[in-house]
Amino acid sequence: MPDRDCSGHDWRRMMYKAPVDEIAFTLRYVTGIGDVLGRGRYSDFGDELVSAILEEAGRFASERIAALGDIGDRQGARLVDGEVRTPDGWKETYRAWAEGGWNALAAPEAYGGQGLPHQLLVATLEMWNGGSMAFAIGPTLTIGAIEALEAHAASEIREKYLPKLVSGEWTGSMNLTEPGAGSDLSDMKTRAERRPDGTYRIFGQKIFITYGEHDLTENIIHLVLARLPDAPPGSKGISLFLVPKFLVNDDGSLGARNDLHCHALEHKLGIHASPTCTMIYGDGRFGSEKGAVGYLVGEENRGLACMFTMMNNARLAVGMQGVAVAEAATQKALAYARERRQGRVPGWAGPGMSPIVEHPDVARMLLTMKALTAGARAITYACAHAVDMARIETDENRRFWQERASLLTPVAKSFATDVGVEVTSLGVQVHGGMGYIEETGAARLFRDARIAPIYEGTNGIQAIDLVTRKLPLSDGVPIRALISELAEVAAKVPAEQRFGATAARIEAAIAALEAATTWLLDAQANGRTAEALAGATVYQRQLGLTLTGIYLAKAGLAETADGGRAALARFFAENLLPETAALGDSIVHGAGSLAAARSLLAGD
């Protein structure tokens, strides 16, 4: 197909460019990376290093990774004779990325990592995903595996596997889901058998395993959940095992092929270049003795707790996918709207038709995209800031930040990925008919974005977690402390023209959020859990929108020159933030109508 439409627009030029300045501003002035630099484990790191890392990461993402997006979407991952082949250029780009030390950015220094703040890791994850979501999800899983093994594995396992995972020479994967066990793992069938030498043999099938097989590295380290023969029933009887694709000798060299393989690849709506594998363990394909050799991570029957370390890491990383794909869609839509000419807006004095960016409805969509993207970015970075603070603080201060991170994680994952879908959908709309055509790339971003609210715990599960586990933490102290901080920011917003009615709108949103929070806590305290759950997803959005309003206002306050941040905060506050009042009403009064209408869903 031609690269241009009848108007002469060159869609190929509209490639993602990492928003380094916006990322740096958010880190410094909105979420506070300066709070951790020069302190504790981050005592050797300063602002100059932050700038250097962001600039170099932005260059690599814009020049190397972004070039993979369309190629990966067209070619996809392919299964050839039981081996997965990635698209053209992916292997070379991955190797250059790993050699650049990016996989080791926040990894422990004891195993070759750089030990940098989690906020910097999250910022670079945004850039990698902005270039190609299908590329970046592989390293994301490796980073999570490193964290899980560092926290729970025996020293001999850490010494043998972590250095090459940290360097990126090997990658990691997460094996939870089975055909009959998805979000609820209590019916897991994959089994493990003890061997006299202290190892285990793993038998079973796992599905939806991202980067379970590929050609980017010489070895893949699988973290696999399985059940021992004498394990208690349900999720309390699950253990975690490290199962390498190739066994590793004592000197670190690779040994025999382990008894595991990729049986099939899924054909997906998006992220085509990311291999989503059906993995078979222990069918004897690569040797006479059946059973994939595995090594226990943590304690028997306590594997789910170990895996949650990796899952919590992955949930924040998936939130970053939502931010990244929203940013890419916004860039593409804005570039198109500035060039595409159609109709004449009232008062247009230029030659011919006006650029569609001048039309009020298109401007509204674009500003909505920019505001939601900026808000989602700030929420995810704030969650990473809490993780960093918990690592350098002590005693009660550490507990405060641990609970803040726990509170923000489900919001960061869910709100940001919902934003990814909403913003990429608007991106297609801004392009009009050309957005529905694959040649522009707008449709690919929409397709890629759709998985993020589903995997690593659906957004509905995140809402359940938020309302039933995170709100009641320490009798509601963490959520009330957060609301109090939001009110402090709102009180600083001046009643002047550039902010318009921002202060009043934010104060109203905070009041609605506080009322909904009180109602949800009271409902659970009095045994009305079903009523609370009916409003959980709604509350999740209400909190995300309120946080967005606050963070946009904070950015406007921090800007010394008029760069438009106050105007964006005002647009959001006056056009989108009023939704929080309606959401609050739905939380408090919606459960009854939901229960009454359930009969409409019954089968024959």
- pLDDT tens digits for range 439-456: 999 999 999 999 999 999
Q: In the predicted model, is pLDDT for residue 287 greater than 80? A: no
The backbone region for 112, taken as left when phi is positive above 0, alpha when psi lies in -120 to 50, beta otherwise, is left
Per DSSP, the residues of 187-213 read G---EEEE-TTS-EEEEEEEEEEETSS
SS3 track for 397-418? HHHHHHHHHHHHHHHHHHHHHH
Confidence of residue 235 (pLDDT cuts 50, 70, 90): confident
Nearest to 130 by CA among 313, 327, 373: 327
CA atoms within 13 A on the CB side of 174: 29
Note the Cα 249 to chain centre separation in Å: 35
The SS3 call for residue 494 is coil
Instruction: For residue 243, report the phi and psi dihedrals to the nearest 5 degrees.
Output: -130, 100
Side chain identity at 159, as an amino acid letter? Answer: E
Is the pLDDT assigned to residue 5 strictly greater than 70?
Answer: no
What mean pLDDT is predicted for residues 120-134?
Answer: 98
Name the band, by pLDDT with cuts 50, 70 and 90, for residue 183.
confident
- What pLDDT band is residue 10 in, cutting at 50, 70 and 90? low
Q: What is the pLDDT of residue 4?
A: 45
Q: For 472-520, what is each residue's pLDDT tens digit?
A: 999 999 999 999 999 999 999 998 889 999 999 999 999 999 999 999 9
What's the gap between Cα 6 and its chain centre?
Answer: 38
Task: Specify whether 456 is catalytic.
Answer: yes
> What local confidence, expressed as pLDDT, does residue 344 receive?
93
CA distance linking residue 568 with residue 570, whole number of Å:
5
pLDDT for 3 beyond 90: no
What gap in Å lies between CA 390 and CA 323, rounded to an integer? Answer: 24
The average confidence (pLDDT) of the chain is: 94
Q: Which of 422, 456, 514, 531 is catalytic?
A: 456
Q: What is the pLDDT of residues 83-125, one digit of tens each?
A: 999 999 999 999 999 999 999 999 999 999 999 999 999 999 9
Residue 202: is its pLDDT beyond 70?
A: yes
**Amino acid (1-letter code) at residue 204:** G
Rounded Cα gap, residues 573 and 576, in angstroms = 6
Is pLDDT at 6 greater than 80 in this prediction?
Answer: no
Residue 14 has pLDDT above 90, yes or no: no
pLDDT digits (tens, 9 = 90+) for 388-428: 999 999 888 999 999 999 999 999 999 999 999 999 999 99
| β-sheet bridge partners, residue 175 | 224
Residues 255-272 pLDDT 10s = 999 999 999 999 999 999
Residues with Cβ within 8 Å of residue 388, at least 6 apart in sequence: 33, 35, 36, 42, 117, 118, 119
